[in-house]
Structure 1
Amino acid sequence: MLRIKKLDIFVLKSFLLLFAGTFFICLFIFMMQFLWRYVDELVGKGLEIKVLAQFFFLSALTLIPLSLPLAILLAALMTFGNFGERYELLSMKAAGIPLLRIMQPVILFCVLLGLTSFFFQNVVGPKAQKELWTLIVSMKQKSPEVDIPEGVFYSDIDGYNIYVKQKDRETGILKDVLIYNFSDGFENAHIIWAAEGKLELTADKQHLYLHLYNGEQFENLKSQAGLSRNVPYRRETFREKHTLIQFDTQFNMVDGNFLNRRSDIKNMNEITHAIDSLTAYADSLGRSMHSDIMQSTYKAPILSKSDSVKIQEEKLSVINIDSVFNTLTSAEKLKTLSTCENRLSSLSSDWSMKSYLTKETDANIRGHRSDWHKKITLSLACIIFFFIGAPLGAIIRKGGLGMPVVLSVLIFILYYIIDSGATRVAKSGEMNIILGTWMSTLVLAPLGGFLTYKSNKDSVVFNIDVYIAFFRKLLGIRQSRHIFKKEVIIHTPDYADVVNRLEAISGQCQDYANKHKLLGPPNYFQIFTNNEHDDAIREISLQMENLIEELSNSKDNILLNMLNKYPYLSVKAHKSLFDNRWLNLIFGIIVPAGLLVWLNIWRYRVRLDKDLKVILKTNEELENHIRTNLL
C-alpha cells in the first residue's frame, strides 16, 4: 500500500509551486515564438476577438507537449537547487534518506505528466492541430482592412492601385486621389484623378463604396486584338462620381479537408493506417513504373528480313554491337548516335519524373513514421528531463532564477538541436527514421542516468580539480612542488636526525638504481604477467614525503627552496598497467595495444631513473647546507 509521508508532501509541494509558474512561462514563450511566425500575415486583418481567442487557445493546446519537458527541467533544477542551497537536502541525507527516495513523489508525478503529454499528442493534439491550421489558412485568406497610407500606392485591393497624397484622419476625406483600375486588363486600364474622395464599407461588408469629387477619368479604348499604333482614349470630367468595388472583408472558415494528408493531424492509429495505404500505393506505383521502364527501354531490335534469316541460319545468340556499328557508313553512324542520344534524353526525363513521384511518396511515409515515434519520445522527454534537472540541482546547489535558467536553456537547446537535426536527416532518407527520431532520447537518457548515479553517490561531478588530476595521471603530467615559509611553526626539524635520514634515502635510491637498470628496455613478458607493486619505490616515496613535511617547518628560505626540487615519485606506472593479471595479459596479447603500453612503461622507467638522480643530488645539497649552516 502506498504511504504518503510528510516528506513526500513537502517535496511534491515545493516542486508543484515552481512547476506551475515555469510551465505557464514556457508555454507563453513558445506561443509568442509561434505567433511571431505569422504576425505579418495576421496584422491589419480586423479579426474579431473570438477569432484571436480561438487562435491562442488552439496554439496553446498544440504547444503543451513541447512546454512540459522544459518546465519540468527548470522546476526540478530550481527545486533541488533550493534544497541544496538551504541545506535541506543535506539534512534529508543526514537522516539516512537516499536521494532517489527523496525524488520518488516527483518521479511519480513526472510519469503522470508523461502520460498526460502522450494523451494530448495522440488525442487532443491532432484535432487541435487540424483546427489551428484551418484557422490560420482562413485568417491568411481574409482580406485586410482598408487603411490607405499617404504618399504610397496601395495595392491590397485586387485590380486597383490607389495613391492618396493627403488624408484627414478625423473626417476620412482623401485629397489628391489617383486610381489605376486594372480590373478589365492592363491594356484597358482606367485612370481616375480626383481632388477629393471618400471610401466607405457597405453594410454587408462585401463592397467598398467610393465617392470622388472634382476629377477626371481617362480610359484606353484599344481592344486586346488591335494592332494599330494610334490608340484612341476617352477623357471624362466629373464633379461627382460614385462607384462600387468588390471587396469581401468578412471572416469565412475554409474547409479543412485539404489538410488530411498531413501527419501531424492524425493519431497513432490513423498514422498506422496511412502508412499502410501509402506503402501499398508506393508498391503499386513501383511495379507500374518497373513495367513501363522494362517495356520502353529493353525493346527487341527491329531487324530486316534478311538479317533475321541470317541470324537463324548461323544460330547466333550474341550480337556484337561494335562490329555492327563499324560496318555502317559515316552518315549512318551519325544518325544512329543522334537517335540514341535523343532516346536517352527522353528516357532520362521520363525516369526523373517518375522518380519524383516515388520520392514524394517515400518522404510522406518517412514523415508519418517520424510523427508516430515523436509522440512517444516527446512523452519520455518529460521523465528524462526530470532525471537530468533534479540531480543537477542537487549537485550545483543553486536555486532561484540564475544558474538553473541558464543550465535549463542550454540543455533544452542541446536537445532541440539534436532532435530537429537528426529528425530532418532521417526524413530526408539519409538516416534510419527510428534512429533519427530517437536520437535525442539516446543521447540525453545516459546523461540523466549518469547525473542521477553521481548525485545519489554524492560523487564529485563539477569539481575541476578532479578532472585535472585525472588527465594529469592519464598523460603522465606531474605537479611541481610549491613549499613556502610558514608564518606559525610549532615544531622545528631535528636537523641531526634529518641528515641521517637523508643518507638512508640516498643509499636506498642508489641500491635501487644499481639493481634494476632502469634505462634499459623492460621485459615484455614480465610486464604483462606481473601485477605486483614496487614496494621499494613506495617506501622511498613515503620516507621522502615524511622528510619533506618535517623540513617544511624550517625557517631557512634556502632549505625551503631546495625542497621544491624534489619530484613526486610514481610508484606503479613503471611496473604494469592494471592490478588484474588477466587484464594485463589481454593487453599483452593484443600486439598494437601491448606495444604502446610497453613503450609507455619504458618511458616511465627512464623518468624514474632521472627522478632518483635528482633525489640523490638534492639530498647531497641538503646535507651540505644543514651541516654548514644549521648544525
Structure 2
Amino acid sequence: MLRIKKLDIFVLKSFLMLFSGTFFICLFIFMMQFLWRYVDELVGKGLEMSVLAQFFFLSALTLIPLSLPLAILLAALMTFGNFGERYELLSMKAAGIPLLRIIRPVVLFCMFLGVMSFFFQNVIGPRAQKELWTLLVSMKQKSPEVDIPEGVFYSDIEGYNIYVKHKDRETGILKDVLIYNFSDGFENAHIIWAAEGKLELTADKKHLYLHLYNGEQFENLKSQSVISRNVPYRRETFKEKHTLIAFDTNFEMVDGNFLNQRSDIKNMREISLAIDSLNMYADSVGHAMYSDAMKTTYRKPLLTKTDSTKIQTEHLSMINTDSILNSMTSAQRLKALNTTEMRLSSLISEWSMKSYMTREADGNIRRHQSDWHKKITLSLACIIFFFIGAPLGAIIRKGGLGMPVVISVLIFVLYYIIDSGATRVAKSGEMNIVLGTWMSTLILAPLGGFLTYKSNKDSVVFNIDVYAAFFRKLLGIRVSRHIFKKEVIIHTPDYNKICQELDDLCRKCETYGNTHKLLGPPNYYQVFTNNKHDDAIKEISQQMEALIEELSNTKDGVVLNFLNNYPFLSIKAHKSVSDNRWLNLLIGIIVPAGLLIWLNIWRYRVRLDKDLKTIVKTSRDIQERIKKSF
C-alpha cells in the first residue's frame, strides 16, 4: 500500500509552488510568440474585447501541451537545485533515502501531467485548434478601421483611393481631400476634390458617411462611338456634398468546414480513419494512373504488319532510327520532329500534374501520421524532461532563476531543433515518419536515464575539477604547489633528521639521473614491451612528499617558499602507456600513433630529468637555510 509521508508532501509542495509559476511563464511566452506571428494582420481591425479574449483563450488551450514539458523541466531544475544549494538533498541522502525515493511523488505527478497532456491533445486540443483557426481566418478577413493617414493614398476601402493632405486629430476634419472612385470601373472613374471633409461610420457599421465641402467632381461619360478619340466628362462644383460608401466593419465568423482536411484538428481516432481514407484515395489514383499508362504505352503500333514480319524474319534486335530519319525528306523530318516535341511536351505536362497529385496525397498521409504520433511524444516529453531536470538540479546544486533558466532553455532548444528538424525531414518523405517523429524522444530519453543514474550514484559527472584534472593528466600539465604558513602547529620539525633525509633524497635523485640517462631517446621496443612500474621514482616521490609534509609545520617563511618549488612527479608517464603489455604492443605497431606516443614519453623523460635536478637544488637550499637559522 502506498503511504504518503511528510517527506513526499514536502517535496511535492516545493515542486508545485515552482511549477505553478513556471507553467504560466512558459505559457505566456509561447502565447506572445504566437501572437507576434499574426500581429501585423490583426492590428487596426477594431476587434471587440470578447473576440480578443476568445482568441487568447483558444491559443492558450492549444499551447498547453507545448508549455508543460518546458515548465516541468524548469521547475524540476529549480526545485532540486534549491534542495542541493540548501543542503536539504544532502540531509535526505544522509538519512539513507535514495534519490529515486525522494523524487517518487513528483514522478507520479508528472505521469499524471503526461496523461492530462494526452487528454488535451486528443480531446480538447483538436476542437480548440479548429475554433482558433476559424477565428483567426475571420479576424484576417474583417475590414480594418478607417484611419486615413496624411500625405499618402489610402486604398483599404474597396473601389476607392483617398488622399488627405492634412488631418485635424481633435475635430476629425480632413483638409485638401482627393477621392478616386473606381466602383463603376477604371475607365469610368469619378474624381472628387474638396477643400474640407469629414468621414463618419453609420450606426449599423455597414456604411461610411462622407461629408465634403467646397469642392469639384469630375466624371467620365461613356463615349457613344468606340472609335472616338475624345472622351467627354462632366464637371460639378459644390459647396456641400454627402455620400454613402459601402463598408461593412462588423465581425462575422466564417464557416470552419474548410479546415476539415487539416490533421491538427482531429483526434487519434479521426486521424486513423482519415489515414485509411487517404490510403484508399491514393491507391485508386495510382490504379487509374497505371491503367492510363498501360493504355498509352500499348496503343496501336506505328509499324505495319509487313514491317513487323520483316523484322521477325531478319531477326533484327533493334531498329536503326537514325537511318530512318536520314531517309526522310526535309519536310517529313521537320514534321516528325515537331510531332515528337509536341508529344513529349504533352506527356511532361500530364505526368507533372499526376506526380503533383501523388506527392500531395503522400504528404497529406505523412502529416496525419506525424500528428498521430506527436500526441504521444509530447505526453512522454513531460516525464522525460523531469528525469532530465531533477538529476541536473541535484548535480548542479544551483537554485533560483539564473543557471536553471539557462540550462532549461538550452535543453528545450535542443529538443525543439531535433524534433522540428527530424519531423520536417520525415514529412518530406526522406525519413521514416515514425523514426522522425520519435527522434527527439529516442535521443533525450537515454540522456534522462543517464543523468538519473549518475545523480543516484552521486557521480561527479558535472564536476569541472574532475575534467580539468583528466585533461591536465592527458596533456601532461601540472599544477604548482601552494603551501602556506599554518596558524596552529602541533609539533616542530626535527631539522637534524630532515637534513639527513634531504641528503639521502639528493643522493637517490643524482644516482637515478646518472644511471638512466633521461635526456637521450628511449628504446622504441622497450617502451612498448615494458609494463613494469618504476619503483625508484615512486620511492623518491613518496620520500619527497613525506619531507614536504613534515617541513610544512615550520614557522620559517623562507623554507615554506622553497617547498613550493618541489614538483609533482609522474611515476610511470616516462616508462610506458599502459600496464597491459598487449595493449602497448598494439599501440606500438600502429606506426603514426606509436611514434607520437614515443615522442611524448621522451618528453616526459626530459621533464623528469629536469624535476630531479630541481629536487636536488631545492633540497640543498633548504639545508643551507636550516643550518643558518636553526
Shifted more, 503-512 versus 67-76: the winner is: 503-512
User: How do residues 397-546 of structure 1 correspond to structure 2 at under 5 angstroms?
Assistant: 397-473=397-473, 475-479=474-478, 481-482=480-481, 490-491=492-493, 494-507=498-511, 518-522=522-526, 526=529, 535=535, 537-546=537-546
Partner of 1:371: 371
Q: Which amino acid aligns with 2:220?
A: N
- Paired AA for residue 348 in structure 1: I
After superposition, what is the alpha-carbon deviation per residue over 1:559-579, rounded to whole angstroms, capped at 9, x for unaligned?
966984756324278446466
In structure 2, the CA distance between the partners of 1:123 and 1:223, relative to structure 1 (3 Å rule), is farther
**Aligned 8 A contact 1:506 1:619 in 2:** no
Q: Counterpart of 1:398 in 2: which secondary structure?
A: coil
Give the C-alpha shift of residue 83 in structure 1: 1.8
Q: Find the aligned partners of 2:293 and 2:106 in 1 and give their Cα distance.
A: 61
Structure 1 residues 73 and 559, CA, compared in 2 at 3 Å: closer, same or farther? Answer: closer
Amino acid at match of 2:508: A
1:571 alignment partner in structure 2: 572
String of CA shifts for 1:130-175, please: whole Å, max 9, x gaps: 0010011111111222233344322211101123344455554444
Mapped to 2, the partners of 1:157 and 1:276 lie a distance apart of 46
Residue 410 of structure 1: SS of its match in structure 2?
helix
Cα separation, 2, equivalents of 1:557 and 1:331:
112
* CA offset digits 1:390-425 (Å, max 9, x no partner): 222222322222222222222222222222222222
In structure 1, what is the equivalent of residue 362 of structure 2? 362
Aligned to 1:37, what secondary structure does the other structure show? Answer: helix
Question: Cα deviation per residue 1:199-248 (whole Å; 9 max; x = unaligned)?
Answer: 33334332233333443221111359934321111112334433332222
On the 8 A contact 1:483/1:561 being kept in 2, the answer is no
Does the CA-based 8 Å contact 2:483-2:560 persist in structure 1?
A: no
Partner residue in 2 for 1:139 = 139
Distance 1:415 1:329 in 2: 69
The residue identity in structure 1 corresponding to 2:107 is I
Amino acid in the other structure paired with 1:568: L
SS at match of 2:460: coil
Q: Distance in 2 between matches of 1:622 and 1:408?
A: 52
- Which whole-Å CA distance do the structure 2 matches of 1:559 and 1:82 have between them? 41
Check whether the contact 2:509–2:613 (CA below 8 A) recurs between aligned residues.
Answer: no
Change (3 A) 1:613 1:238: closer
Aligned residue number for residue 127 of structure 1: 127
Report SS of the residue matched to 1:4.
coil
CA distance in 2, matches of 1:427, 1:465: 45
Give, in whole Å, the separation in 2 of the partners of 1:130 and 1:364. 18
Equivalent position SS for 1:264:
coil
TM-score, L = length of structure 1: 0.87
Q: Aligned partners of 1:627, 1:202: CA distance in 2, in Å?
A: 107
Contact 1:195–1:214 (8 Å) recurs in 2: yes
Q: Deviations over 1:498-541 (max 9, x none)?
A: 21233235445666779x994232386x57xx7x6555554454
Query: Would you say 1:159 and 2:155 are equivalent positions?
Result: no
Q: Partner amino acid for 1:180? A: Y
Residues 426-480 of structure 1 deviation map (CA, whole Å, 9 limit, x = unaligned): 222233322222222233223322322232222223332211222233x342315
Provide closer, same or farther for how the CA distance between residues 610 and 44 of structure 1 changes in structure 2, counting only shifts above 3 A.
closer
TM-fit CA distance, 1:253: 1.1
CA contact (8 A) 1:84 1:397 kept: yes
Task: Identify if the C-alpha distance between structure 1 residues 622 and 81 changes in structure 2 by more than 3 Å, giving closer, same or farther.
Answer: closer
- Tell me the distance in 2 between the aligned counterparts of 1:623 and 1:62: 76
Q: In structure 2, what residue type is equivalent to 1:426?
A: A
Q: Name the counterpart of 1:9.
A: 9
Figure out how many residues of one structure are paired with residues of the other and give that number.
Answer: 620
CA distance in structure 2 between the aligned counterparts of 1:219 and 1:144, rounded to whole angstroms: 28
Which residue of structure 1 lines up, in the alignment, with residue 42 of structure 2?
42
Q: Is the 8 A contact 1:480 1:564 kept in 2?
A: no
3-state SS of paired residue (1:89) = helix
CA–CA separation in structure 2 for the residues paired with 1:611 and 1:239: 105
Does residue 1:238 correspond to 2:262, yes or no? no
C-alpha distance 100-495 of structure 1, shift in aligned 2 (>3 A): same
Partner of 2:80: 80
Describe the shift of the 1:485–1:212 C-alpha distance in structure 2 as closer, same or farther (beyond 3 A). Answer: closer
Percent identity of paired positions between Structure 1 and Structure 2: 71
Distance 1:55 1:155 in 2: 28
SS at match of 1:38: helix
TM-aligned CA distance change 1:465 to 1:136, over 3 Å: same
Mapped to 1, the partners of 2:248 and 2:589 lie a distance apart of 79
How far off is 1:630 after superposition? 6.1
**Aligned CA distance change for structure 1 residues 126 and 599 (closer, same or farther; 3 Å):** same
1:81–1:399 Cα contact (<8 Å) kept: yes
Worse-matched range after superposition: 116-125 or 185-194? 185-194
- The residue number in structure 2 matching 1:92 is 92
Residues 518 and 608 of structure 1 are in contact (CA less than 8 Å); yes or no, is this contact kept in structure 2? no
Residue identity opposite 1:441 in structure 2? T
Which residue number in structure 1 is paired with residue 353 of structure 2?
353
Is contact 1:192-1:218 (8 Å) kept?
Answer: yes
Whole-angstrom distance in 2 between the partners of 1:559 and 1:99: 45
SS at match of 1:9: helix
Q: Which amino acid aligns with 1:120?
A: F
Matched residues in 2 for 1:616 and 1:253: separation? 89
Partner SS state of residue 200, structure 1: strand
The one-letter code of the counterpart of 1:606 is W
Cα distance between partner residues in 2 of 1:492 and 1:367: 83
Judged with a 3 Å threshold, the aligned counterparts in structure 2 of structure 1 residues 402 and 285 are, in CA distance, closer, same or farther, namely same
Q: CA deviation at 1:318?
A: 3.1
What does the per-residue CA deviation read over 1:167-201, in whole Å, with 9 as the maximum and x for residues that have no partner? 45555444433221101111110112233434333
Q: Distance in 1 between matches of 2:199 and 2:564?
A: 97
TM-score (norm 2): 0.87
TM-aligned CA deviation for residue 255 of structure 1: 0.7
3-state SS in 2 of match to 1:197: strand
